């Protein structure tokens, strides 16, 4: 009898201990989920409380983010898309300008809430930041000298050439992957890049097709051109946010989806890209780059 009671007591004690352990485990999981949810909501809550979203951009990237001649009003495809997004979010919009290489750092330091500057979505960047759904689809091409295409017929001919670009851009990664050297710049305007190709200080500039097309159209006196045979690396551009800003991403994605469905993205794109709709995927046959972790 005593043995039976002892066994029963031990079983009851085990059940109590298991129940306590399960309760503690559930409480820990609950607290973890709560903390994760709070972190997810924190950036969006902060923006709502301030009534303002601070956006990093360069102000020198035509036609995405720039100042028209004789104007102090920032505009461009990216800028006007962001204005519409802020309207949908119901908050005021403030732009802060940084060089291309300083934009992502500005997110990490908290100086800006998000970045919009024709920023390509890459696997490497996705490890550190969150991205909205794309608001622009494109591909890369290159500007070369009119006289001889800078001696470039294929991407493999880039070895030993000089590329003009930002140190941390995907375009510089592509150039260096094929053996080129990158000459870096500060926050300078497009004409500086173009004239350096023209006069031989650099040989080529890899960048977005739409951006380069419009830059050339705006500065026809500079003797450079788009390479006629090289279209490569299809790209998506999106708004960049802190890694854990899930709620902010949700709100921005909803705003972009509405702007896509009601035709606003198409309308803005055609205004800044010579009647072309960069909000839709291109139909051109574009070369995918293998062996390059972008």
Q: What is the CATH number of the domain that holds 164?
A: 3.40.190.10
| Residue 18 included in any domain | no
The per-residue pLDDT for 33 is: 52
The reply to whether 146 and 230 lie within a common domain is yes
Residues 131 and 249 in one domain: yes
Q: Are both 124 and 242 inside the same structural domain?
A: yes
Taking CA atoms, 96 is separated from 3, 107, 114, 188, 214, in Å, by 78, 11, 10, 16, 24
Q: What is the pLDDT of residue 294?
A: 67
Q: Which pLDDT belongs to residue 38? A: 63
How many structural domains are present in the chain? 2
How many Cβ atoms from other residues are within 10 Å of residue 96's Cβ? 15
Which segments of the chain have a pLDDT < 70?
1-39, 294
Question: Closest Cα to residue 235, out of 127, 117, 166, 140?
Answer: 140
The answer, yes or no, to whether the previous bond of 63 is cis (omega within 30 of 0) is yes
> Distances from the Cα of 4 to the Cαs of 9, 89, 141, 184, 206, in angstroms?
9, 68, 83, 83, 83
Q: What is the pLDDT of residue 29?
A: 54
Indicate if 98 and 228 belong to the same structural domain.
Answer: no
DSSP 91: -
Do 229 and 256 reside in the same domain of the chain?
no
Q: Which of 36, 39, 44, 34 is nearest to 250 (CA)?
A: 44
Residues 227 and 254 in one domain: no
Q: Are 252 and 126 found together in one domain? A: yes
Compute the Cα dihedral for 187, 193, 195, 199 and give only its sign: positive
Determine which helix (DSSP H) or strand (DSSP E) holds 46, and give its type and residue range: helix 2-50
pLDDT at 128: 95
Residue 101 and residue 56: Cα distance in Å, rounded?
12
Asked if residue 162 and residue 240 are part of one domain, the reply reads no
Measured in degrees and rounded to the nearest 5, phi and psi for residue 241 equal -135, 165
Question: What is the domain extent for residue 177?
Answer: 138-234
Largest CA distance in the chain: 105
- Phi and psi angles of residue 8, each rounded to the nearest 5 degrees, phi first: -65, -40
Question: Based on the domain organization, do 201 and 258 belong to the same domain?
Answer: no
Let me know whether 159 and 223 are in one domain: yes
């Amino acid at each position: 009898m005593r043995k039976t009671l002892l066994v029963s007591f031990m079983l009851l004690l085990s059940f109590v201990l298991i129940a306590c352990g399960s309760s503690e485990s559930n409480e820990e999981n609950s607290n973890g989920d709560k903390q994760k949810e709070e972190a997810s909501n924190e950036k969006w809550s902060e923006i709502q409380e301030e009534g303002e979203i601070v956006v990093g951009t360069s102000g020198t990237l035509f036609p995405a983010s720039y100042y028209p001649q004789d104007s102090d009003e920032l505009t461009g495809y990216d800028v006007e898309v962001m204005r519409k997004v802020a309207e949908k979010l119901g908050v005021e919009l403030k732009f802060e300008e940084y060089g291309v290489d300083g934009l992502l750092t500005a997110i990490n330091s908290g100086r800006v809430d998000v970045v919009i500057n024709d920023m390509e979505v890459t696997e490497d960047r996705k490890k550190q930041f969150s991205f909205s759904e794309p608001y622009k689809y494109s591909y890369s091409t290159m500007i070369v000298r009119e006289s001889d295409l800078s001696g470039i017929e294929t991407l493999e001919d880039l070895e030993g050439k000089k590329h003009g670009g930002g140190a941390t851009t995907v375009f510089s990664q592509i150039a260096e992957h094929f053996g080129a050297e990158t000459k870096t710049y500060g926050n300078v305007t497009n004409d500086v890049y173009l004239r350096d190709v023209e006069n031989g200080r650099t040989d080529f500039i890899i960048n977005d097709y739409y951006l380069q097309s419009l830059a050339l159209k705006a500065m026809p006196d500079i003797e450079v051109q788009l390479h006629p045979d090289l279209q490569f690396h299809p790209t998506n551009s999106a708004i960049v946010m802190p890694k854990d800003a899930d709620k902010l991403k949700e709100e921005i994605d909803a705003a972009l989806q509405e702007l896509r469905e009601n035709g606003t993205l198409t309308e803005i794109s055609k205004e800044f890209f010579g009647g072309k709709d960069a909000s839709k995927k291109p139909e051109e046959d574009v070369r995918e780059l293998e062996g390059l972790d972008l």
